[in-house]
């Protein structure tokens, strides 16, 4: 993409939100690399703590083994721990957190305590039918026979019920940049960078994309 002739942003505290199948995990990696910040995904945090045998990881493992969901309080604690690490001092891209209004409040309180706030919320907008088609195709390619259309629809329903509503609050703050998530990886990335550039946020390493 053509990068505006301005100084690169010194920090970027971003959140990427989108339904399963929207490509947010892939786009998150590309955007984080371009801005020189870590992609902070809750799934990765859980796995790292469990495999590392940390006190937090042991609590997560016990909950998962019991077949329960990791509660908001513990999820927020894990994210705070990750954001407190040196590589996140100059910024970060959150993926998978916050998932609901309670976690939004936890994140707000944590960032406010550090004198920080989110700079932008990237919303990847993908029609439900497109998400289902992508996830169904991925399930076939990966041999995941348990990922039926019914299961996939249920996951999307949870997103629509619990996560999508957080965008209303972020829109009220003027933070949301809504991106058309249908297209090639490069096309969607171009749209994200263009939308962020309008806000004066220029990637430190645009070539990474």
pLDDT in tens, 117-134: 999 999 999 999 999 999
Within a domain: 31: yes
CATH number of the domain to which 155 belongs: 3.40.50.300
> Domain for residue 136, yes or no?
yes
Count of domains in the chain?
A: 1
Is residue 36 situated within a structural domain?
yes
Model pTM greater than 0.85?
Answer: yes
Give the torsion through C-alpha atoms of 117, 123, 128, 134, to 10 deg: -110
Q: Per-residue confidence at 207, pLDDT binned at 50, 70, 90?
A: low
Residue 4 confidence (pLDDT): 38
Tell whether 155 is covered by a domain: yes
Tell me the pLDDT band of 68, cut-offs 50, 70 and 90: confident
Q: What is the mean pLDDT of the chain?
A: 90
pLDDT digits (tens, 9 = 90+) for 39-65: 999 989 999 999 999 999 999 999 888
Examine residue 108 and state whether it is found in any structural domain, yes or no.
yes
Structural domain span for residue 36 = 12-41+91-201
**Residue 5, domain member (yes or no):** no
Residue 81 counted as domain residue: no
What residues act catalytically? 24, 99, 138, 144, 155
The pLDDT value recorded for residue 9 is 45
Chain centre to alpha carbon of residue 86: 20
Query: Which residues, 6+ apart, have CB-to-CB distance to 101 below 8 Å?
Result: 165, 166, 169
pLDDT in tens, 6-39: 334 457 999 999 999 999 999 999 999 999 999 9
Give me Rg for the CA atoms of the chain.
17
The answer as to whether 116 is a domain residue is yes
């Amino acid at each position: 993409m053509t990068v505006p002739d301005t100084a690169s942003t010194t920090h970027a505290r971003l959140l990427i939100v989108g339904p399963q199948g929207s490509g947010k995990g892939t786009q998150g990696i590309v955007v984080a690399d371009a801005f020189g910040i870590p992609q902070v995904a809750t799934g990765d945090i859980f796995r790292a703590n469990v495999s590392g045998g940390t006190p937090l990881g042991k609590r997560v493992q016990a909950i998962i083994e019991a077949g329960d969901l990791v509660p908001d309080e513990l999820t927020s604690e894990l994210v705070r721990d990750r954001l407190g690490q040196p590589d996140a001092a100059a910024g970060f891209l959150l993926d998978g957190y916050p998932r609901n209004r309670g976690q939004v409040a936890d994140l707000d309180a944590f960032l406010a305590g550090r004198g920080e706030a989110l700079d932008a919320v990237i919303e990847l907008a993908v029609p439900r039918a497109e998400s289902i088609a992508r996830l169904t195709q991925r399930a076939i390619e990966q041999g995941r026979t348990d990922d039926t259309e019914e299961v996939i629809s249920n996951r999307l329903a949870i997103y629509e019920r619990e996560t999508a509503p957080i965008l209303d609050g972020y829109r009220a703050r003027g933070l949301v940049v809504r991106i058309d998530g249908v297209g090639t990886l490069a096309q969607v990335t171009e749209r994200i960078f263009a939308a962020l550039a309008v806000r004066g946020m220029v990637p430190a390493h645009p070539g990474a994309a």
